[in-house]
């Protein structure tokens, strides 16, 4: 990923916090035939497994991506945070020189490493239980895997394949107008807030320093 210095985000705790908050990522793999495939999937981060953490998720057994991906081959998980179109009309520089063009602000994380797949029902049950608890935990009446009949859950587990992505690198990019003059950043944040993109406006005001999510 192209990352000019002012857009780089390499702090591991910040990246982990953002990945956990975003939750969904595009899993990109390349088959033995050289054809890339991608699936949007909710992923579970276990930050204490390995130097950069380990991602877990599952795909439908009918999804050919897992069958066509060689075990141990390189995979990429792309997390996308808040994003928004940036119009030059928000820049003070527009009135001063007119030398401005549109752009797009965004936050993203690229997580790479070797991927392996598993079909063990015990490991799959642990994975889906952890994923469910992660996303149901804050609800007033959280749903739990144990709320469904055990035989039904076992049938569901037979229809999925789990995967483990052991991270060997993490790259974060917070493109939030850090390369613009202060007056342009202020105008951008105000414009984004008026347009209803408060999450991007907050990151612009923070100079990209805060984790998205």
Tens of pLDDT along the chain (213 residues) come to 999 999 999 999 999 999 999 999 999 999 999 999 999 999 999 999 999 999 999 999 999 999 999 999 999 999 999 999 999 999 999 888 988 899 999 999 999 999 999 999 999 999 999 999 999 988 999 999 999 999 999 999 999 999 999 999 999 999 999 999 999 999 999 999 999 999 999 999 998 776 666
CA distances from 42 to 27, 79, 177 (A): 10, 10, 29
Task: Report CA dihedral (171, 175, 176, 181) to the nearest 10 degrees.
Answer: 120
Whether residue 176 contacts residue 107, with contact meaning beta carbons closer than 8 Å, is answered with: yes
Report how far residue 183's alpha carbon sits from residue 93's, in angstroms, rounded to the nearest whole number: 8
Query: CA distances (Å), 52 to each of 1, 18, 30, 92, in order?
Result: 18, 14, 22, 41
Check: CB of residue 205 under 8 Å from CB of residue 197.
Answer: no
Q: State the Cα–Cα distance between residues 126 and 139, nearest whole angstrom.
A: 20
pLDDT of residue 169: 97
């Amino acid at each position: 990923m192209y990352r000019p210095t002012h857009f780089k985000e390499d702090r591991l705790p910040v990246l982990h916090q953002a990945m956990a908050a975003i939750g969904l990522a595009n899993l990109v793999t390349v088959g033995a035939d050289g054809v890339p495939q991608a699936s949007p999937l909710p992923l579970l981060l276990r930050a204490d497994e390995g130097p950069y953490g380990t991602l877990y998720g599952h795909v439908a057994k009918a999804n050919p991506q897992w069958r066509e991906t060689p075990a141990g081959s390189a995979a990429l998980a792309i997390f996308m945070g808040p994003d928004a179109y940036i119009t030059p009309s928000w820049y003070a520089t527009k009135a001063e020189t007119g030398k401005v063009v549109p752009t797009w602000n965004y936050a993203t994380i690229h997580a790479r490493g070797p991927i392996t797949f598993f079909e063990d029902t015990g490991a799959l049950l642990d994975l889906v239980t952890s994923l469910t608890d992660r996303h149901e935990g804050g609800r007033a009446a959280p749903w739990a895997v144990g709320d469904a009949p055990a035989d039904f859950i076992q049938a569901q587990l037979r229809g999925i394949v789990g995967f483990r992505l052991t991270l060997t690198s993490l790259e974060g990019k917070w493109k939030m107008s850090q390369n613009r003059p202060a007056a342009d950043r202020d105008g951008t944040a105000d414009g984004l807030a008026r347009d209803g993109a408060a999450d991007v406006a907050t990151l612009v005001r923070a100079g990209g320093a805060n984790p998205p999510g």
